[in-house]
Amino acid sequence: MKTRILLVEDEADLGNVVKQYLEISDFEVDWLKNGKLAYEQIRKDPRNYHIVLIDVSMPEMDGFELAEKIVSLGHDIAFLFLTARNEKADRLRGLKIGADDYIAKPFDVDELVLRIRNIIRRIPAATPVGKVSALVRGDVQFHKDALKLHIGKQKDIVLTPRESELLDYLFRNENRILRREEILTQLWGENDYFLGRSLDVFISRLRKHLSASKFISIDNVYGVGFVFNVQEIPGSHGGK
């Protein structure tokens, strides 16, 4: 299995060069230009990447803040800082947050590859990347492959395959309006009356299960579809 990397870099030229070179070096690379988008990507799938390459100077959310938020998730994701600043205070701050390495721009891409490979060798064997054992939001744990939903101190709820498939889709699209026809075509390939009625039944069952959660709910958007609401989890966002 190839090493999966998330590159967070807002400079288009540098990001494009780094992504292409890493892919030539046999890595799989996703590239995002925004720290907020990167955090949401990692929060939804915390085991999807072996390492995150983070530019320090970015608008909206700088690299240090992004790294603190990643650390607060508690999944021990490796990360390396890319920065044009070579000040001792910045390097110390990055290392204190938990960075595995720190490389100053301009850098040699071959050196970056070697540093990445060194970090990967130090990562202990764990759950394979891309195979998340459970999705966790507050008091809710969802085990898609096992068809199980656990909420708070309740016993495990056993889901049907279709319910599990639908819940996985909702988790991947949380806090946004989902149109009924979008859900039907994305999950089951077509938007017809009978599938629509089945969707209503599955949504009703999942809503009933999730009524025990303090953080998650499924709300109707009249005439449009649904919103899978996930409230802010206390302590999930680190400060600067």
Q: What is the pLDDT of residues 163-196, one digit of tens each?
A: 888 999 999 899 999 999 999 988 877 887 878 8
What's the whole-number mean pLDDT along residues 97-118? 87
Do residues 80 and 53 lie in contact, with contact meaning Cβ atoms separated by under 8 Å?
yes
pLDDT at 125: 47
Where does the pLDDT of residue 75 fall: very low under 50, low under 70, confident under 90, or very high at 90 and above?
A: low
What's the whole-number mean pLDDT along residues 40-64? 86
The size of the chain, in residues, is: 240
Where does the pLDDT of residue 153 fall: very low under 50, low under 70, confident under 90, or very high at 90 and above?
A: confident
pLDDT at 202: 92
What's the whole-number mean pLDDT along residues 229-235? 72
Ordered domains of the chain (ranges, CATH): 4-122 (3.40.50.2300), 160-230 (1.10.10.10)
Residue 32 tokens read as: 């995002």
